[in-house]
């Protein structure tokens, strides 16, 4: 049975002290340390988990926003409101918007705290730090690429039947997508991977590449562009330009489409089986992504504590093991 294409359902819109830079630091180690903290979280050791987050924050000058979000909640859980507000401020400087902060129900007790007034007072200044850090011109370019991609994918919605959709994918979407990939290669060579670190967005480009990987089974067999950029994406994980979540979402589509769902992936698109769980976890381990079992334990932690651990939101709750 042929695999249904992602583009026809549209993807909805993861420090060194002094003058030293962290470019030589391997972000695979960064993510492995975060996994250590998550394991402690899953065991109820919240204080020890926060210590590891703090160690990572001191070592790396670029910190993924998700980790500031988690750390702020851990500090509040441990009744350290001042530290929680401190991490919220760091999160704002990393791109966390006030409206998104207010959506986090766990942080509500802070709103009446004197520290919260300092967050509101300095919000614009902190926000400007984020805007200064990112490449705004490249951000606009990638946003435009994303909008073009979504518009082109919309054309498939007016095709009735899988064969018509596949013809559209091969004849209409593929040439567009190849141009997008050539533009991406130019960006990778000149600027690096345009994700959270560089443009403050972690899904525009990953959506574009995922669309490319899911044009059709026939196209996936003969495509060479994705295999050409894969080593560049791995390097982007290593230098902090790309999160393991982004890479897994992209590579999962390629594996699922090219094999017609017959080979194990990362567990997002195809539920792992007991017989393939080891392979899935090995794939995850290679890119420093937590195991399926740990993810499911973290879902339990969320339900028990009310914490929002900001797990990838393209799959809800636990990953079922068949």
At 135 the pLDDT is: 98
Q: List the domain boundaries for the chain.
A: 134-286
Say whether pLDDT at 52 is over 90: yes
- Give the pLDDT score at 249: 95
Higher pLDDT, 245 or 25: 245
Please report where in the chains the tokens 């994406």 appear, as a residue: 233
* List of residues 6+ apart from 153 with CB closer than 8 A: 7, 8, 10, 173, 211
pLDDT at 81 over 80: yes
pLDDT at 299 over 70: yes
Residue 322's pLDDT is what?
87
Which residues lie closer than 8 Å to 278 by C-beta, 6 or more apart? none
Among the listed ranges 66-75, 76-85, 153-162, 289-298, which one has the minimum average pLDDT value?
153-162
Flag whether pLDDT at 63 surpasses 80: yes
Span of 56-60, 115-119, 136-140, 152-156 with lowest mean pLDDT: 152-156
- Report how far residue 191's alpha carbon sits from residue 134's, in angstroms, rounded to the nearest whole number: 12
Residue with the bigger pLDDT between 218 and 300: it is 300
Kindly state the average pLDDT of the residues 176-189: 97
Residue carrying structure tokens 């079992």:
293
């Amino acid at each position: 049975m042929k695999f249904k294409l992602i583009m026809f359902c549209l993807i909805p819109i993861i420090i060194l002290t002094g003058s030293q830079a962290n470019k030589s630091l391997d972000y695979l180690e960064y993510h492995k340390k975060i996994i250590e903290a998550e394991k402690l979280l899953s065991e109820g050791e919240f204080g020890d988990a926060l210590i590891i987050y703090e160690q990572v924050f001191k070592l790396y000058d670029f910190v993924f926003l998700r980790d500031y979000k988690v750390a702020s909640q851990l500090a509040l859980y441990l009744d350290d409101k001042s530290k929680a507000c401190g991490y919220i401020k760091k999160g704002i400087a990393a791109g966390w918007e006030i409206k998104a902060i207010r959506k986090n129900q766990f942080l509500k007790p802070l709103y009446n705290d004197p520290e919260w007034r300092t967050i509101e007072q300095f919000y614009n200044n902190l926000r400007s730090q984020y805007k200064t850090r990112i490449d705004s011109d490249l951000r606009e370019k990638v946003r435009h690429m994303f909008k073009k991609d979504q518009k082109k994918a919309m054309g498939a919605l007016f095709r009735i039947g899988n064969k018509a959709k596949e013809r559209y994918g091969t004849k209409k979407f593929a040439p567009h997508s190849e141009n997008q990939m050539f533009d991406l290669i130019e960006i990778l060579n000149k600027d690096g991977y345009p994700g959270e670190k560089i443009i403050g967005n972690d899904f525009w480009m990953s959506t574009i590449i995922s669309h490319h990987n899911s044009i059709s089974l026939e196209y996936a067999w003969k495509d060479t562009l994705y295999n050409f950029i894969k080593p560049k994406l791995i390097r982007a994980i290593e230098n902090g330009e790309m999160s393991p979540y982004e890479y897994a979402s992209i590579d999962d589509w390629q594996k699922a489409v090219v094999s017609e769902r017959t080979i194990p992936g990362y567990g997002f698109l195809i539920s792992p089986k007991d017989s393939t769980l080891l392979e899935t976890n090995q794939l995850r381990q290679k890119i420093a992504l937590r195991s399926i079992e740990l993810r499911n334990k973290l879902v339990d932690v969320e339900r028990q504590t009310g914490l929002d651990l900001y797990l990838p939101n393209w799959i809800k709750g636990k990953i079922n093991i068949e």
